């Protein structure tokens, strides 16, 4: 990144920060702040150990310095500007989750498709936090990172004192890591007729129950009843290893009988006891894979981490780090809603061919001198794919 490019980007960021709506974190005076400047690029130098006493001080600093990246600590400190962690005196920290395309298996290469993929993971995480952990929606804040994913901030006082190990355990649950599928299914003793021995019934948590047992029940029943409803159901079930036409038809009859399905929903799996155990366990693993969320464990476990400031700009994209409610998240289109710069044409020298979709436009940019809308020009320069001017 040459001097002219750095000067142009810094001036555009400064222009943005003069009127930007910044999401100031709670108890800002107890937070450590950190910044990366355009001036030192291509070197990445984090200037940290800063503190502010008011919103006005933060806004004044951003407008004056126009940093490429702006961060605040997830932790609350007694002395946030102290030069060492020991001297800062850690008090507690928000619970943070980071969902980034780099850590999500199967993320597409296309930027727009990749962001859609990460958003689906983000909504799965939200479902787990609300329905399994019981967090209140008001205590959860979603933030588009301005780059390749989303952050969740949880400010519930019940979790702020948790240490790193406890936070990693939460990640284990969310990702389904270490879940023993064999123990999800269990045998329950039931009384037989007079004079007969007790029988043992195949059981699973009822669908109404919290935790992975209830989730797997809902997935299994939904998946199997959906298969049974299809015209080629017999062929579909016969495709499973160990299921012949006779067993397939029996399963279809069970799964089309509402009374039998209701028993399954209540956790009584006896009707499926003749089905190959490996098939049921494979479907249970599939349920965990489809319903778990891929989060970056080191981020959640780091109780002294710096996280991007809501409302700031991401120096590698020029897009806004956008704070969202859950209803806003569902409708959020990052390549439109987080783009803050204008359509005004800017001349630049493209170093390598580039393709990106922004503001509803598919841009295929050739190498050489080009004139592009400002928002696309800023993006390419931030990505290191172009320099300002001809």
Residue 335: the pLDDT is: 92
User: Within 13 A of 236's CA, how many CA atoms are on the CB side?
Assistant: 13
**Can you list the positions of beta strands (E) in the chain?**
33-36, 46-50, 69-73, 75-77, 90-93, 95-100, 140-144, 149-154, 186-190, 199-203, 306-308, 322-324, 345-350, 354-358, 361-365, 368-373, 386-388
Residue 104: the pLDDT is: 78
Interatomic CA distance for residues 327 and 165, integer angstroms? 31
Average pLDDT over residues 239-254: 84
Residue 240: the pLDDT is: 81
Contact 119, 150 (CB under 8 A): yes
Q: Which of 103-107, 239-243, 246-250 has the highest mean pLDDT?
A: 246-250
Confidence of residue 195 (pLDDT cuts 50, 70, 90): very low
Average pLDDT over residues 226-249: 86
Residue 191: the pLDDT is: 63
Residue 62: the pLDDT is: 97
User: Which position has the higher pLDDT, 185 or 371?
Assistant: 371
Q: Quick: pLDDT tens for 348-362.
A: 999 988 888 899 888
Confidence of residue 340 (pLDDT cuts 50, 70, 90): very high
**Choice among 39, 98, 116, 232 that is catalytic:** 98
Average pLDDT over residues 42-50: 88
Residue 69: the pLDDT is: 97
Average pLDDT over residues 330-340: 93
Residue 259: the pLDDT is: 92
Active site residue 102: no
Q: Quick: pLDDT tens for 212-224.
A: 999 999 999 999 9
Active site residue 296: yes
Average pLDDT over residues 192-196: 52
Average pLDDT over residues 5-18: 96
Active site residue 98: yes
Average pLDDT over residues 308-335: 94
Interatomic CA distance for residues 113 and 144, integer angstroms? 15
Q: Quick: pLDDT tens for 258-280.
A: 999 999 999 888 888 777 777 88
Confidence of residue 199 (pLDDT cuts 50, 70, 90): low
**Choice among 296, 302, 337, 362 that is catalytic:** 296
**Choice among 100, 156, 172, 343 that is catalytic:** 100
Average pLDDT, whole number, for the chain? Answer: 90
242-245: which pairs have CB atoms within 8 A and are 24 or more residues apart? Answer: 242/276, 242/278, 242/279, 243/275, 243/276, 243/279
In Å, how far from its chain's centre is CA 266? 31
User: Which position has the higher pLDDT, 200 or 279?
Assistant: 279
Angle at 61 between CA 55 and CA 62, to 5 degrees: 90
313-316: which pairs have CB atoms within 8 A and are 24 or more residues apart? Answer: 313/13, 313/16, 313/17, 313/68, 313/70, 313/146, 313/340, 314/69, 314/145, 314/146, 314/147, 314/382, 315/9, 315/13, 315/36, 315/38, 315/67, 315/68, 315/69, 315/382, 316/147, 316/382, 316/383
The region of weakest confidence among 159-173, 200-214, 299-313 is: 200-214
pLDDT at 95 over 50: yes
């Amino acid at each position: 990144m040459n001097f002219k490019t750095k000067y142009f980007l810094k001036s555009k960021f400064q222009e943005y920060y003069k009127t930007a709506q910044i999401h100031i974190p709670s108890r800002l005076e107890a937070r450590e702040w950190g910044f990366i400047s355009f001036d030192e690029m291509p070197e990445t130098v984090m200037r940290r150990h800063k503190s502010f006493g008011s919103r006005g001080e933060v806004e004044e600093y951003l407008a004056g310095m126009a940093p490429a990246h702006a961060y605040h600590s997830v932790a609350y400190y007694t002395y946030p500007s102290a030069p060492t962690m020991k001297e800062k005196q850690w008090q507690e920290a928000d619970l943070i989750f980071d969902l980034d395309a780099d850590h999500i298996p199967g993320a597409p290469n296309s930027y727009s498709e990749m962001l859609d993929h990460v958003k689906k993971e983000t909504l799965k995480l939200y479902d787990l936090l609300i329905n399994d952990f019981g967090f209140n929606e008001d205590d959860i804040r979603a933030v588009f990172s301005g780059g390749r994913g989303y952050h969740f901030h949880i400010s519930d006082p019940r979790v702020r004192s948790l240490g790193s190990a406890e936070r990693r355990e939460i990640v284990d649950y969310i990702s389904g890591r270490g879940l023993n599928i064999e123990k999800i299914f269990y045998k329950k003793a039931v009384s037989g007729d007079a004079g007969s021995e007790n029988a043992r019934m195949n059981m699973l948590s009822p669908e109404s129950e919290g935790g992975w047992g209830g989730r797997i029940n809902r997935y299994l029943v939904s998946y199997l009843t959906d298969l049974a409803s299809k015209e080629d159901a017999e062929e579909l079930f016969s495709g499973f290893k160990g299921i012949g036409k006779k067993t397939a038809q029996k399963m279809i009859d069970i799964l089309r009988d509402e009374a039998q399905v209701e028993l399954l929903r209540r956790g009584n799996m006896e009707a499926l006891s003749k089905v190959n155990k490996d098939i049921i366990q494979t479907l249970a693993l599939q349920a965990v894979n489809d319903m778990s969320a891929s989060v970056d464990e080191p981020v959640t476990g780091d109780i002294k981490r710096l996280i991007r400031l809501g409302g700031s700009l991401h120096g590698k994209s020029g897009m806004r780090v956008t704070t969202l409610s859950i209803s806003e998240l569902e409708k959020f289109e990052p390549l439109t809603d987080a783009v803050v710069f204008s359509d005004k044409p800017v001349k630049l020298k493209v170093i390598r061919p580039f393709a990106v979709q922004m503001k509803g436009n598919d841009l295929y940019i050739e190498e050489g001198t080009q004139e592009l809308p400002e928002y696309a020009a800023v993006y390419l320069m931030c990505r290191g794919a172009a320099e300002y001017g001809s």
